[in-house]
Amino acid sequence: MSKKLNLLMVSMLALPIGSAFSASTTAPANYPADYQKVIDAANKEGKVVVYSTTDTAAAAPLIKGFQALYPDISVEYNDMNSTELYNRYISEQASSSGSGDVVWSSAMDTGLKLASDYALPYKSPEAGKLPSWAVWKDTVYGTTYEPLVFIYNKRLIKAEEIPTSHATLATLIKGQQDRFKNKVTTYDIEKSALGFMLAVEDMKNDPHYFEHLKDTASAGMVVQSSTGTMLERVSSGENLIGYNILEPYAKTRAMKDPSLGIAYPTDYTLVLSRVTFISKQAKNANAAKLWLDYMLSQKGQDILANQANITSIRDDITGDNDVAGTTQRLGSALKPIPVNDSLLEYLQQNKRLDFLKKWRSITGK
């Protein structure tokens, strides 16, 4: 989606519903007694600027729901890839120029790194409803519960060939290198901060990671910085298989596309949680608090799960697109990536460069 279209969509979503509704916007019953002051201050600010890696189309129901509740606060929503967000945000913070009030990133490691340097500590009233591993120092919050899946072309991959683990994926490709030549896709881990993080988490969870990577790349791997590109190419048959794909995007595409299949690895299934925090330099800090709390609330999470098709990190929303429902489907294979300091280890320059060098030497990318 073009930035021009993104801005158009946000502008449409940001149209005032009418200030007459503002007076009726009151703090939820279970919130702190002084939360009304945050609401009143946010209404005076009149805007919240969100920097996000989540597609505008996916975020649209959340924006609409937020503005129905807070009609005097417009949402300026900027979506970009994870590396672009990181670089742009750092540059703006360094120059103290206008920037995002809230960051919402699928690249958990770089998101946490940004927060450790630039975030405003804020204890959300919704924090107690989240898993303990999804909250970092009352500053960064995991917002979703998204398995990482394999995708495949259902017309060109036989049922008995569908990979059920990282090992069977590697074996399938190594055994038919001519057939899979340049037909396997995943993230470009140098251009995609999300892709880098997922490769590191694979290594942590798979004792044979580099061996499996070598076999998976043996026919020539095609790397991308965009999930949408990978979905499109597997659907068309240009590629046959993709891995480390975010389930919500895959599910949304598969609902409309009979060519796209989804498989869940049974050895381990990484679970990503998009992280969010408020900027220390936020010009609209009160509106940012309302946005963050709304996104974590039962109402906001219900919208994410049932309108945006992004799995909720709570277990009290309508339906089963949440932690409880996902656990019932996939059980002990689920490996949530915790929002903690372990995410920062491979952002150290020497470790990052060593990992990139080894990954490139094995994949030839």
Is residue 219 within 8 Å of 182, Cβ to Cβ? Answer: yes
- State the CATH number of the domain containing residue 125: 3.40.190.10
Residues 279 and 187 placed together within one structural domain of the fold: no
- pLDDT at 10 exceeding the cut of 90: no
- pLDDT at 16 exceeding the cut of 80: no
Residues 184-196: tens digit of each pLDDT: 999 999 999 999 9
Averaged pLDDT for residues 245-268:
96
Question: How many structural domains is the chain composed of?
Answer: 2
Structural domain of 258: 146-271+341-363
Q: Compute the CA torsion angle 82, 85, 89, 92 (nearest 10 deg).
A: 150
- Give the confidence band of 140 by pLDDT, cuts at 50, 70, 90: very high
Residues 162 and 16 placed together within one structural domain of the fold: no
| Long-range Cβ pairs for the range 132-140 (8 Å, 24+) | 133/336, 133/338, 133/339, 133/340, 134/273, 134/313, 134/336, 134/338, 134/339, 135/339, 136/112, 136/339, 136/340, 139/115, 139/277, 140/111, 140/112, 140/115, 140/275, 140/276, 140/277, 140/339
- Give the confidence band of 39 by pLDDT, cuts at 50, 70, 90: very high
Angle at 27 between CA 26 and CA 33, to 5 degrees: 125
**287 domain residue, yes or no:** yes
The 8-class DSSP code of residue 8 comes to H
Residues 166-215: tens digit of each pLDDT: 999 999 999 999 999 999 999 999 999 999 999 999 999 999 999 999 99
User: 207-244 b/e with 16+ CB inside 10 Å = b?
Assistant: eebeebbebbbbbebbbbbebeebbbbbbeeebbbbbb
Residues 76-127: tens digit of each pLDDT: 999 998 889 999 999 999 998 889 999 999 999 999 999 999 999 999 999 9
Residues 111 and 197 placed together within one structural domain of the fold: no
HSE, CB side, 13 Å, CA atoms: give it for residue 11: 6
**329 domain residue, yes or no:** no
Residues 286-303: tens digit of each pLDDT: 999 999 999 999 999 999
Residues 237 and 288 placed together within one structural domain of the fold: no
Residues 77 and 205 placed together within one structural domain of the fold: no
Residues 309 and 225 placed together within one structural domain of the fold: no
- Number of other residues whose CB lies within 10 A of the CB of residue 61: 18
Q: Which tokens belong to 182?
A: 């340049």
Residues 58 and 140 placed together within one structural domain of the fold: yes
**208 domain residue, yes or no:** yes
- pLDDT at 70 exceeding the cut of 80: yes
Residues 230 and 358 placed together within one structural domain of the fold: yes
**332 domain residue, yes or no:** no
Residues 277 and 138 placed together within one structural domain of the fold: yes
**330 domain residue, yes or no:** no
Residues 141 and 279 placed together within one structural domain of the fold: yes
Q: Which tokens belong to 289?
A: 């608090």
**328 domain residue, yes or no:** no
**302 domain residue, yes or no:** yes
**67 domain residue, yes or no:** yes
Residues 100 and 196 placed together within one structural domain of the fold: no
Averaged pLDDT for residues 228-256:
96
